[in-house]
Amino acid sequence: MAIRTILHYPDKRLRNPGKKITEFTPALRALVDDMAETMYAAPGVGLAATQIGEELQLFIVDVADSDDPSDLRVFINPVFVEKDGTRLYEEGCLSFPGVQEEVERAAHIKVKALDENGKEFEVEAEGLLAVAIQHEYDHLQGVLMIDHMGPLKKRLVHRKMQKRAENAAST
Ligand code: NI
């Protein structure tokens, strides 16, 4: 297992969509292990393969409270079966360090996906799990939380992240 480098906005690679996964190999399971280690180390509640430069339809989430046992879920080639209601939720993203902004999401979702062994499952979710799944699903399409913001917030966040990247490059 290894901790991978998480790409930060405005890295253009975050805009590349993930390709469908068709082979369920030991290499894929090793990638899932790396992603879990990377997410827990960050720490975060979700991580998409596209955030570490792997252009695949794969994300993981774990929204368990820190006192509870971990609840790692792997989603491969996910599709929404149902989406209804709306709710605002203050989100963060490992690709936007220091940014917390309200994003509107569906309140209730049903999603179909494969696990790391290629087995199909369906999950219904509300609350933080539903938010995390929709956020990570977006990453697989090259869509980022900034795309859900109004023009003013978008400009502010873009500038903040641009400055952060310039500072990181000059040190
Ligand atoms: Ni994110």
Tell me the pTM.
Answer: 0.96
Question: CATH number for the 12-170 domain, one of 3.90.1170.50, 1.10.10.10, 3.90.45.10, 3.40.50.1100?
Answer: 3.90.45.10
Q: Is 136 a catalytic residue?
A: yes
User: Domain-by-domain residue ranges, the chain?
Assistant: 12-170
Q: What separation in Å is there between the alpha carbon of 8 and the centre of ligand 1?
A: 10
Q: What separation in Å is there between the alpha carbon of 120 and the centre of ligand 1?
A: 24
Integer-rounded Cα Rg, in Å, for the chain is 16
Residue range 103-140, pLDDT digits in tens? 999 999 999 999 999 999 999 999 999 999 999 999 99
Catalytic-labelled residue, pool 91, 126, 136, 166: 136
Task: Give the pLDDT score at 1.
Answer: 80
11/13 Cα distance (integer angstroms): 6
